[in-house]
Amino acid sequence: MAEIINMPKLGFDMAEGVLIEWAKQEGETVEIGDVLADIETDKVTVEIESTVAGTILRLLVNQGDVVPVTAPIVIIGEPGEEVDLPVPDDSESSVEADVDTPIIESAPEPPRQTQDMPAPVISAGTSHQQEKVKASPLAKKVARDKNVDLREIVGTGPGGRIVRRDVEAAVASGQESASLSAPAFSAISREDKIVPLTKLRQAIARRLVEVNQEVPQFFVTHEYKMEAVMEMRAQINSILPEGEKLSVNDFIVKAVALALREFPNLNASLEGDKVIQHGTINVGNAVAVEGGLLTVVSKNADQKTLRQISMEVKNMATQVRAGKIKPEDIEGSTFSISNLGMFDVEHFIAIINPPEAAILAVGSALEVPVVEDGEIKVGWRMKATISVDHRISDGAEAAQFMQALARYLEKPLLLVV
Amino acid sequence: MARITMREAISQALMEEMDRDPSVFIMGEEVGVWGGTYAVTKGFYDKYGPERVKDTPIAENAIVGGAIGAAMVGQRPIAELMTINFAFSAMDYIVNQAPKLHYMFGGQIKVPMVIRAVGGGGRQLGATHSQTPDVIFAHFPGLKVVSPGTPEDAKGLLKSAIRSDDPIFFIENATMYQVRGEVPEGEYTTPIGVSKVQRSGNDVTIVTYAKGLELSMKAADQLAKEGIQAEIVDLRTLRPLDMGPVLESFKKTNRAVIVEEGWKSYGVGAEITSRIYEEAFDYIDAPILRVAQKEVPLPYNRTLEQSALPQVPDIVAAVKEVMK
Amino acid sequence: MNKEKQLQMYREMVLIRRLEKRGAELYQDGKIGGFMHLYIGQEAVSTGIIAARESRDRVITAYRDHGVALNCGISANEVMAELLGKATGMSKGKGGSMHMADPDKNMWGGHAIVGGHLPIASGMALGDQYAGNDNVTICMFGEGATNIGYFHEALNLAKIWGLRVLWVCENNEYGMGTAVERASAVSEIRQKAEGYGMKNSSVNGRDVLKVHNAAKEALDYVRSNSQPYLLEVETYRLRGHSMGDPERYRTQDEVLKRKENEPIRTFRKQLLSKKTATAKKLDAIDAEVDVEVQKSVEFAESSPEPAPEALWENVYVEQGEI
């Protein structure tokens, strides 16, 4: 059985050896222990001995060849035996290549001449883009987040470096081109557009200015756990037909209405030095219409079912948007809700709808990481802020109302029993 | 709470652990009859006898190598190096043997030992007896390196180190032995590998440990008078390094100064700065500065020596620089 | 010594010889990397010494440790697998040729820093003294290790504290490529023990029975007197210091001459002349060993590589953040 002998690894860092001289020729017999060849490593020349007995069938490398460790160098066996050499991983040209025919590589193409390219014109308008702005990493991040151009800020850090306080100062003062060193910027000029206020807008404007001037408002924010509402809504909606499904706001309206039963002072209006705590709970829902905002009113909302509230608000909103407004639909609210949840608003503060005591601004219900029993889980949270007339009520009461609301929203079965 | 010195805290830790576990013993130069050159083991020889408080010849390789062998066969030796400067005489055992044995033998061998060494300069002992080479030891995976800055931490950390199954290099400071601090009554240990906020503030983060803590606390008092509130994060352990509190603080203050007694080049500050850069890049509002020993061997002359060591005014100046 | 024990020693020596030879072939095939130090020619030393120990006696040696590992009872499978760096090696492929160990068999490694394990040996004996038992720590090392500081600190400590260490110096005449006369102030190493007031003797390391008897005597002395002892064993390595050693420091003639009274040949002659065994019996043992070695190669080659995560294992006993 013929054996292939490989270039041995003679040292821990030997990668290749040179076959200096063959001691045996093809056809000669060899015993175990006979010297086969002299091998040169970078440290020393050694004789390698044969580990098999037999006849040298084929010398696979020539004297003077550099051979990698473990590559085959000689085949020893019985005369006439044929052996298949293992095919090496790299190209086959290593052992069998004819030394006389060199491999011609295609010459790489010469690089393109650049003479015919016009020299780029560097205009004053583009040069400022190459200037390096010196700013701390934090300042750069804040500038990115607040959409402020660092080139227009003067730095007060060492060496004129822009630091965070500089960016924040720029943001606070609404600064634009206050920088003395800001380079010239050529813009395209556009015409101003003049839009007259609609009657509705004018009315809203008048009332809100009044509110701002006369009503001392304070605000209380509460974050609500909405998992139960989301689940109940999903369950209910699975059995309701299309077009009649409940929205999150419907739950909020009912919850607010029920909570107001416990807080009559927030379902109220001020007249002179008297507070009128209204007998009915009429929840107004802010609806955006062309040119402004209207509240459609759900009367006796505390006594209506979720479905009734839902259908009612839907219908009124459709009517109002179509311009068909019935006075009784938009009058008589005792407490208003403004919901911007559908616009991915996390949190906002609404202005009281006079003469109401309060208005609730509702944000989006979001899936966020929450901590329960010391572990991080995924939960639904929604922020709502109540704006309250401080002449009628105060912080503690408002906060307690918000807590009561939480009770209803976190245990929504209370809304249907 | 009791108010005791760092020396008393370390001494108590040793005694409590020797009382608790009979496999704990101490070996080192002059630890027994002399009572320890820093009096940490004063009274131990009479209490525990020569079997458990072993005076060795001046032969650091035998001390540390011997402790390794005893630990391998199931005891819990505490090898004492009279000063950390003599650690170099046992370097192979501290960084090339003890940290490697558990790993190289596939987990079959454990080395539950503590090497205690005293370091630091400032006592006119000359260049070869005054070094703070802590980082050299912190460089090696497989070794844990602990260096407390308060008596409470010294006692709690040493107790944890003695109970740990890993080889631990416990670094003390010669000029801090008489520092007093509140230490809880009763049994307690402090976890290794946990940094601690020793002082809260919103304006700047000072990262430090051991002697640097003492200096930084004084600097923080001064800075507070000028309206700058420094937050001090005490590393307590150099390896494994707990960056959690450091990063949390830095994300709040956006400015940091690192204080260490060793030389600045290739030091603890270099490591902390690099990690802040990697993990809190967007929070950096000013370059991070390092307060460290000047790059010279420490001289004998008192004034010169003090001028080379980091001092409170250096820390105050560095903080003001990063606040600019 | 009874016949069974002698044949057992013969078998162990042949196993070491043939495993080392096979290891050399695998190394040249590129399957074993790093440093590899063969014990060929020195088999009688570890075999004789370890055959004389009680199982509670501990053995620690330097990097020429494959023979010691086999004598302590570690399987050829685990030795071969460790050489190939496989997960089934006794050190899980993370130690290699120089770091074989098995504390359960009281084999404590396998150490690569010359003389580095000597203070550790004193420490192990210290631990045993502290525990109050009479275990002996057998510390094996070459004559080249007697010139480094660790040797002196370790012997001194063992003497002053009365630690039960049997220091076994395998004097194979060459520390790497430097002959003992060029490296050591005295070539008769046991004289160094005299300087420490330590009992000592020397023995011909090519005769396994003599080695065994000398070791037994020395172990008794150490155990009864709780004093260290240095036993110098005269031996010779027939291969280079490690794989790749060009051996320019000695002639081929010298090596060939030493082959004549090499330990296995010597023991075989003794067993035959004293009629302790027949040639047929000894040949049968040889054949058995060949099969065992072949099986160990198959075992090792078919064993898995360590998983990538193994990189991070056993850095600390108490892991957590590294």
Residues C123, B68 contacting (CB under 8 angstroms): yes
Quote the DSSP letter at residue A14: -
- Interface A–C counts its CB contacts (< 8 A) at 32
Structure tokens at A324: 């068909």
Torsion of Cα atoms, A161 then A166 then A168 then A171, to 10°: -110
Subunits next to C (3 or more Cβ pairs <8 Å) are A, B
Known active-site residue A390: yes
Chain B residues whose beta carbon lies within 8 Å of the beta carbon of residue C121: 69
Q: Are the Cβ atoms of A12 and C34 closer than 8 angstroms? A: yes
Identify the sign of the CA torsion A187, A191, A194, A195: negative
A268-285 burial by CB neighbour count: b if 16+ within 10 A, else e?
A: bbbeeeebeebeebbbbb
Chain B residues whose beta carbon lies within 8 Å of the beta carbon of residue C103: 72, 108-109
**Same-domain check for residues A330 and A242:** yes
Q: For residues A294 and A318, what is the distance between their CA atoms, to the nearest angstrom?
A: 12
Nearest by Cα to A21 from A68, A59, A78, A57: A59
Chain C residues whose beta carbon lies within 8 Å of the beta carbon of residue A6: 29
**Same-domain check for residues A214 and A299:** yes
**Same-domain check for residues A266 and A388:** yes
Question: Which of A68, A86, A104 is the C-terminal boundary of a domain?
Answer: A86
Structure tokens at A53: 């007995």
Q: Tell me which chain B residue has its CA closest to the CA of residue A143.
A: B282
Nearest to A163 among B282, B285, B321 (CB): B285
Structure tokens at A27: 């056809």
pLDDT value of position A80: 80
Residues B289, B321 contacting (CB under 8 angstroms): yes
pLDDT value of position A46: 80
Q: What is the mean pLDDT of residues C86-98?
A: 96
Which residues lie closer than 8 Å to B294 by C-beta, 6 or more apart? B263, B307, B308
Please provide the size of chain B in residues: 324
Identify the sign of the CA torsion C311, B140, B87, B15: negative
Q: Are strands A72-77 and B230-234 parallel, antiparallel or unpaired?
A: unpaired
Helix axes A164-172, A137-145, angle to 10 degrees: 20
Q: Are the Cβ atoms of C120 and B68 closer than 8 angstroms? A: yes
Nearest by Cα to B246 from B220, B215, B209: B209
Structure pTM? 0.69
Q: Which residues pair with B257 in a beta bridge?
A: B206, B289
**Same-domain check for residues A208 and A288:** yes
- Cα angle A372-A374-A376, degrees, rounded to a multiple of 5: 60
Q: Give the E-state strand segments of chain C in sequence order.
A: 58-60, 137-142, 165-171, 174-175, 178-179, 199-204, 229-234
The fraction of chain C above a pLDDT of 70, given in percent, is 99
C272 assigned to some structural domain: yes
C316 assigned to some structural domain: no
Q: For residues B265 and B304, what is the distance between their CA atoms, to the nearest angstrom?
A: 20
A107 assigned to some structural domain: no
A100 assigned to some structural domain: no
Chain A residues whose beta carbon lies within 8 Å of the beta carbon of residue C246: 43-44, 46
Q: Are the Cβ atoms of A138 and B284 closer than 8 angstroms? A: yes
pLDDT of C272 > 50? The answer is yes
Q: What is the mean pLDDT of residues B244-257?
A: 97
C318 assigned to some structural domain: no
Structure tokens at B155: 């006692």
Instruction: Identify the CATH number of the domain in which residue A159 sits.
Output: 4.10.320
Q: Are the Cβ atoms of C30 and A43 closer than 8 angstroms? A: no
**Same-domain check for residues A249 and A378:** yes
**3-class SS of residue B290:** strand
Nearest to B62 among C113, C127, C153 (CB): C153
Chain B residues whose beta carbon lies within 8 Å of the beta carbon of residue A138: 254, 282-285
Q: What is the mean pLDDT of residues B193-216?
A: 98
**Range(s) of the domain holding residue A333:** 199-415
Tokens 């030389």 correspond to B263
How close, in Å, is residue C249 to chain A by CA atoms?
13
Residues A25, A56 contacting (CB under 8 angstroms): yes
Which portions of chain A are predicted below pLDDT 50? 90-130, 177-179, 181
Q: Which of A237-241, B102-106, B204-208, C13-17 has the lowest mean pLDDT?
A: A237-241
A374 assigned to some structural domain: yes
C298 assigned to some structural domain: yes
Helix axes C208-225, C263-273, angle to 10 degrees: 100
All structural domains of chain B: 2-183 (3.40.50.970), 196-323 (3.40.50.920)
Structure tokens at C313: 């294992």
Instruction: Identify the CATH number of the domain in which residue C157 sits.
Output: 3.40.50.970
Torsion of Cα atoms, C214 then C219 then C220 then C223, to 10°: 160
Q: For residues A22 and A38, what is the distance between their CA atoms, to the nearest angstrom?
A: 7
Torsion of Cα atoms, C141 then C145 then C147 then C148, to 10°: -120
State the first-to-last Cα distance of chain C, in angstroms, to the nearest integer. 53
**Same-domain check for residues A204 and A169:** no
Name the catalytic one among A128, A278, A347, A390: A390
pLDDT value of position A117: 42
How close, in Å, is residue C249 to chain B by CA atoms?
30
Q: Are the Cβ atoms of B106 and C92 closer than 8 angstroms? A: yes
Q: Are strands B168-173 and B144-146 parallel, antiparallel or unpaired?
A: parallel
pLDDT value of position A87: 60
Q: Are the Cβ atoms of B254 and A140 closer than 8 angstroms? A: no
pLDDT value of position A115: 44
How close, in Å, is residue B282 to chain A by CA atoms?
5
Instruction: Report yes or no: A70 at the C interface, CB cutoff 8 Å.
Output: yes
**Same-domain check for residues A272 and A360:** yes
A237 assigned to some structural domain: yes
C125 assigned to some structural domain: yes
Name the catalytic one among B8, B17, B60, B271: B60
How close, in Å, is residue B250 to chain A by CA atoms?
11
**Range(s) of the domain holding residue C102:** 3-309
Q: Which residues pair with A276 in a beta bridge?
A: A269
Instruction: Report yes or no: B1 at the C interface, CB cutoff 8 Å.
Output: no
Subunits next to A (3 or more Cβ pairs <8 Å) are B, C
What is the gyration radius of the CA atoms in chain A, in angstroms? 43
Q: Give the E-state strand segments of A344-416 in sequence order.
A: 358-372, 375-389
Q: How far is CA C295 from CA A387, B10, B173, C77, C299, in A?
A: 85, 56, 58, 8, 6
Residue B8 CA, chain-centre distance (Å), reads 16
Q: C22, C26, C28: which to substitute to probe chain A, counting the most A Cβ within 10 Å?
A: C28
Structure tokens at A158: 């060492």
What is the total count of domains within chain A? 3
A379 assigned to some structural domain: yes
Q: For residues B293 and B264, what is the distance between their CA atoms, to the nearest angstrom?
A: 6
Structure tokens at A401: 């109302």
Structure tokens at C319: 């892991």
Q: For residues B269 and B291, what is the distance between their CA atoms, to the nearest angstrom?
A: 8
State the first-to-last Cα distance of chain A, in angstroms, to the nearest integer. 93
pLDDT value of position A116: 43
Quote the DSSP letter at residue B93: I
Chain C residues whose beta carbon lies within 8 Å of the beta carbon of residue A69: 30
A186 assigned to some structural domain: no
Q: Are the Cβ atoms of A44 and C248 closer than 8 angstroms? A: yes
**Same-domain check for residues A247 and A374:** yes
Sheet containing B204-208: give its strands across.
Answer: B196-199, B230-234, B204-208, B256-263, B289-293
What single-letter amino acid sits at B16?
E
**Residue A287: enclosing H or E segment and its boundaries?**
strand A283-289
Nearest to A137 among B281, B321, B324 (CB): B281
Q: For residues C21 and C67, what is the distance between their CA atoms, to the nearest angstrom?
A: 12
Q: What is the ipTM of this complex?
A: 0.90
Q: Are the Cβ atoms of C153 and B96 closer than 8 angstroms? A: no
Q: Are strands A45-49 and A29-30 parallel, antiparallel or unpaired?
A: unpaired
**3-class SS of residue B154:** helix
Preceding amide of A355 cis, omega within 30: yes
**Same-domain check for residues A155 and A299:** no
How close, in Å, is residue B285 to chain A by CA atoms?
5
Structure tokens at A24: 């045996």
Q: Are strands A54-59 and A72-77 parallel, antiparallel or unpaired?
A: antiparallel
A130 assigned to some structural domain: no
Preceding amide of A241 cis, omega within 30: no
C319 assigned to some structural domain: no
Nearest by Cα to B211 from B125, B320, B134: B134
pLDDT value of position A319: 85
**Same-domain check for residues A243 and A212:** yes
Instruction: Identify the CATH number of the domain in which residue A370 sits.
Output: 3.30.559.10
Contacts 24+ apart (CB under 8 A), C17-22: C17/C43, C17/C264, C18/C289, C18/C290, C18/C293, C19/C66, C19/C70, C19/C76, C19/C79, C19/C80, C19/C293, C19/C296, C20/C66, C20/C67, C20/C239, C22/C80, C22/C293, C22/C297
Nearest by Cα to B111 from B101, B119, B120: B101
Instruction: Identify the CATH number of the domain in which residue A50 sits.
Output: 2.40.50.100
What is the total count of domains within chain C? 1
Q: Are the Cβ atoms of C157 and B66 closer than 8 angstroms? A: yes
pLDDT value of position A16: 87
Q: Are the Cβ atoms of A9 and C27 closer than 8 angstroms? A: yes
Q: Which residues pair with C303 in a beta bridge?
A: none
Q: What is the mean pLDDT of residues C41-54?
A: 98
Instruction: Report yes or no: A12 at the C interface, CB cutoff 8 Å.
Output: yes
pLDDT of B83 > 70? The answer is yes
pLDDT value of position C303: 97
pLDDT value of position B245: 98
Phi–psi pair at A55, nearest 5 degrees: -110, 140
- Interface A–B counts its CB contacts (< 8 A) at 27
Which residues lie closer than 8 Å to A59 by C-beta, 6 or more apart? A22, A25, A26, A73, A74
Q: Which residues pair with A372 in a beta bridge?
A: A375
Nearest by Cα to A164 from B246, B282, B273: B282
**Same-domain check for residues A170 and A216:** no
Q: Which of A268-282, C50-64, C221-235 has the lowest mean pLDDT?
A: A268-282
Identify the sign of the CA torsion C209, C211, C212, C214: positive
A136 assigned to some structural domain: no
Chain C residues whose beta carbon lies within 8 Å of the beta carbon of residue B77: 123, 127
Q: For residues A230 and B98, what is the distance between their CA atoms, to the nearest angstrom?
A: 59
In the predicted model, what is the mean pLDDT of chain B?
97
Chain C residues whose beta carbon lies within 8 Å of the beta carbon of residue A13: 244
**Same-domain check for residues A172 and A206:** no
pLDDT value of position A128: 43
